Amino acid sequence: MQITVLLFAAHREAAGTAALALTVPPGATAGDVWPLLIGRHPALRRTAPPTAVAVNDQVQPADRPLADGDRVALIAPVSGGDLIELVREPIRIDALLEAVRHPGAGAVVLFLGTVRRHSRGRDIDRLDYEAYEALARREMTRIAEQARDRWGVRLALVHRLGALAVGEISVAVAAAAPHRREAFEAGRFAIDTLKQTVPIWKKEVWASGSEWIGQEEPAG
């Protein structure tokens, strides 16, 4: 199969082109494109891996199968910026870490919130998350800006939406700073503030029922 790969910023300069044709084997996925490109353009090894992959102008998970003629865009990390995302596919930890690392960072702190089996005396089957996405992104961006202004950190803040099984990652925060104290404090501030202010709702689902957390009927 042949696809077209679009490159931007440092990836474009390293490969010497903004677009190229790439032959991929049958069954190849979006996540296979980067290693195939590195084999063709070794200079890409000196750049950060993409933080996301878009297929035909839509961001897709790494395991998305490719088809002949697909147009694949590798999203290069944004220098100096924060990574703010709401996603419906599994959260990519490597993308978070690459997004925040920089030469001035002496510490990178990573927090992962995961779905636990037991909650409020029940055995949980799954959690369902939904969000007011436009407002949630705006509030997450504000949190990142506050953390940057207060602690001088670079922050990645990603929350997953949809149905999540026990053990899956629901939210991830990565904070990079010159020293560990700032990284720890900024990471804690980000997750605590997200839980308090970002419009993301969680429903616990168990064998005999379900309930939106925070919207229980008052005791009587």
Are 1-76 and 78-220 in the same CATH fold?
no
Report whether 168 contacts 90 (CB < 8 A): yes
Report whether 205 contacts 125 (CB < 8 A): yes
Question: pTM here?
Answer: 0.63
Mutual angle of helices 133-151 and 180-197, in 10-degree steps: 150
Report whether 131 contacts 86 (CB < 8 A): yes
Model confidence pLDDT, tens digit, residues 190-200: 999 999 999 99
Model confidence pLDDT, tens digit, residues 84-110: 999 999 998 988 888 888 888 899 999
The CATH superfamily label for domain 1-76 reads Beta-grasp domain (3.10.20.30)
Q: Where are the domains of the chain?
A: 1-76, 78-220
Report whether 147 contacts 175 (CB < 8 A): yes
CATH class of 78-220: alpha beta
Q: What is the DSSP string of 34-76?
A: HHHHHHH-GGGGGSPPPSEEEETTEEE-TTPBP-TT-EEEEE-
